[in-house]
Chain A
Amino acid sequence: MKKLKRVFTYLFLSVAAIVSIFPFLWMLVSMTNKSVDVTAGRLIPGTHFIQNLNNLLDQTQIGTALWNSFLIAVITTVLTLLIGSLAGYGFEIYRSKGKDIVFNILILSMMIPFAAIMIPLYRLFGQISADAPLIGLDTLAAAFLPTIITAFFIFFFRQNTKMFARELVEAGRIDGLSEWGIFFRIYMPTMKTTYAAAAIIAFMNSWNNYLWPLVVLQSPEKQTIPLLISNLGAGYTPDYGVIMTAIVIATLPTALVFFLMQRHFVAGMMGSVKG
């Protein structure tokens, strides 16, 4: 009886694992096959990879899209971490009644669905387009500006600051550091793991962001990776080998981040719920 249960457990988990992994294997295999072979259901690696890659480079602006996505993700990550940690630190270390009220109001914004503010944001960027063409519609800045300040990261950093030893702040003051000096020279280096976890979340969110870039970026040379893949996938005569190659390239950075920093990755997820 007990053995039977064991067998069943392994069977169940194996099926789950196969279902989870299969799409990954399929895209890796299909990347090396001709489009007709992919449609025919070929599941063994082929020799068409270089051809697919060349076609992808010829037919799409994947290089530009990669660069745009990368640029947006890096700027977003740096600014998100800086602004979010400043606020999280400020709310926790300089705690006061007034700030607690402000904090609770800011946290409410986590409930606001993006679709609910998308149109006013689009109109806002439309209005400033004429005066400030560098951050107006169809600019990379417009694609990341509304995403860099979020209540989630303020909350995340405040939660983690609770574990930061306050004595270090006092010690810094005695050593004659300014309040900003304490933040940049003591807090930041001490909280490296928190920053690493936050960086992973911010980078992945940005790299995968779809709806807002879709709304705000129009010209092909401003495309990000998700927009490019979505366009390829919506084509009437899709070249499956080429699309799979693009998808693998798009998935690679986030998969790498996950495998190299698995510990921080999970820590980042958990950091958002720690009491």
Chain B
Amino acid sequence: MSQASSPTHQRTFAQRLRKNYIGWLFIILSVLGISLFYFYPMVQAFLLSLQSGMGSSLEYVGFDNYVRLFNDPTFITALTNTILYLLIQVPVMIVLALVFSVLLNDPTLKFKGFFRTAIFLPAVTSLVAYAVIFKYLFGNDGLVNDFLLGMNIISSPIAWLSDPFWAKITIIIAITWRWTGYNMIFYLSALQNVDKSMYEAARIDGASAMQQFFFITIPLLKPIILFTSIVSTIGTLQLFDEVMNITSGGPGNSTMTISMYIYNLSFEYTPDFGYAATVSYVILILVVILSFIQFRVAGDRD
């Protein structure tokens, strides 16, 4: 008691209080900024999703917009496409990136630096720039068809951009080209921290390269695989730049994504901000659910 009122203790208490107060000053700008530019719009978007009307003449309609989602063929197409991209592109890319990183982690491999830099290079391009390049490469008389025809792999040009099926494939190829090297770098640096003696012990015990990959490499890389797959999932759910610049969502709506539909609803068609906000909540809900599932599936022991 008597100690608590001693002047030195009082001073340190006052100092602590002051430091705590200064600490808040360091973070206040960020708190305000994120509240204004993330949380406030989130609330606004929800309120908007309960309204309907054109432009700025909106009125509350309850959950009508959410009901409308189920009867909106364009929305269902956009949702299906987005999930399709997700289910095919993310696993393909992650497996490719893992294979590259394991091959490049071999200390006896020559030209390692060249291969690593080359495969990573696509990650430095701007999304719009590479999308435009892919649009031309995959055109009807583009270089990809020229090459495939020249090698006698196909007998007539593939309609990469104007066939609903091939247009989706083109988008998937494009995203995989852009992001595989990016993910590979994460796995490579994780592999460099793996204790080499583990592989030695496994070899002595007679484990094949395949067994080493599945029983040592994959479990050890699990946290980073989880991280990259969540990042890729969130990214793919928001896919916009590539689709906009390669196919503009076409032919028809066959490559349309949810983000692009939101953009069209707000700025291309007669603006319907209320319904666009409703669609945008679908992305948010998907991000939350999928991140949660991935954590549950892969991160259970962390």
Contacts and interface: CB of A to CB of B under 8 A. Distances in A.
Nearest to B25: A90
A120 B48 contact: yes
A193 interface: no
Contacts of B19: 94, 179
B191 to A, nearest CB: 13
A23 interface: yes
Interface stretch (A44-52, A54-62, A147-155): A147-155
B161 interface: no
Interface residues of B, number: 83
A21 B114 CA distance: 11
B53 to A, nearest CB: 13
B280 A89 contact: no
Given A119-B276, A250-B129, A273-B227, A233 B245 contact: yes
Nearest to A9: B103
B287 interface: yes
Interface in B251-283: 258-259, 262-263, 266-267, 273, 276-277, 280-281, 283
Interface residues of A, number: 79
A115 B24 CA distance: 31
Contact of A251 (B23, B40, B125, B259): B125
7 contacts: A102-B27, A109-B38, A115-B259, A226-B126, A233-B131, A233-B135, A254-B125
Interface of A: 9, 12-13, 16-17, 19-21, 23-24, 26-27, 38-39, 41, 83-84, 86-87, 89-91, 93-94, 96, 99, 102, 106, 109, 111-124, 145-146, 148-151, 154, 179-180, 183, 204, 207-208, 210-211, 215, 225-226, 229-230, 232-234, 240, 243, 247, 250-251, 254-255, 257-258, 266, 269-270, 273
Task: Kindly list the 5 A-B residue pairs having the minimum CB-CB distance in the complex, ordered from nearest.
Answer: A94-B23, A90-B26, A149-B33, A120-B41, A120-B44
